[in-house]
Chains A and B, each alone.
Chain A
Amino acid sequence: NAGVTQTPKFQVLKTGQSMTLQCAQDMNHNSMYWYRQDPGMGLRLIYYSASEGTTDKGEVPNGYNVSRLNKREFSLRLESAAPSQTSVYFCASSSLRIPLTNEQFFGPGTRLTVL
């Protein structure tokens, strides 16, 4: 099992460009998450998807869109990148089979720089 995979690992964009970060999991998890990690701050939730076909905003959704393509895949799109979106992005998934505990499994991260 690969667990949670993310592509690309690194990306440099110019302000105004668009891109999509891809995430896939092979653990048959229902829930998937997108986080950003910035220096001096904890991981912050951008969007999450509790099940296939549903998505909800997290703490910092502005400037992002998501698609839960199927149970395995959850993509994050930046329509018009801004320097403030320079960050490391992590995708995660969880099964919630154990109620109330929500152990999450993380991908390796995407380091994005917006010039």
Chain B
Amino acid sequence: KNEVEQSPQNLTAQEGEFITINCSYSVGISALHWLQQHPGGGIVSLFMLSSGKKKHGRLIATINIQEKHSSLHITASHPRDSAVYICAVTSFGNEKLTFGTGTRLTIIP
């Protein structure tokens, strides 16, 4: 079993829909990261959080440490949100990241 599991693997939605991507992890963590990768493009960090909730524009990330679960929400989705969203965790005492396999999101106009 992977230490970081994401669901769904693929998600297609209509423009304007509310999007939720989930991430579960099995180890104790010091931080959880959400990353975005556009087709053929590089990887950018969206959020880094260790508790609670963070918001940036139409993106919201939440984490429940007790349940070892995080969600990434996108409100009023737009075709430019189409990308692969990757969850990663940093474990205590280990500077390395462990990555999920990503969720491919496609927003249809």
Contacts and interface: CB of A to CB of B under 8 A. Distances in A.
B76 interface: no
Given A42-B86, A43-B86, A103 B45 contact: yes
Given A101-B30, A102-B90, A43 B95 contact: no
B contact face: mostly helix, strand, loop, or mixed: strand
A40 B99 CA distance: 12
Interface residues of A, number: 25
A97 B35 CA distance: 20
A100 interface: yes
A45 interface: yes
Contacts of A2: none
Interface residues of B, number: 25
A107 B101 CA distance: 19
A43 B92 contact: no
Contact of A42 (B2, B45, B90, B95): B2
Given A100-B50, A106-B42, 16 more contacts: A41-B101, A42-B88, A42-B98, A43-B86, A43-B88, A58-B96, A100-B30, A100-B31, A101-B30, A101-B48, A102-B31, A102-B96, A102-B97, A104-B33, A105-B45, A107-B42
Interface of B: 2, 4, 30-31, 33, 35, 41-45, 48, 50, 86, 88, 90, 92, 95-102
Interface of A: 31, 33, 40-45, 48, 50, 58, 90, 92, 94, 96, 100-109
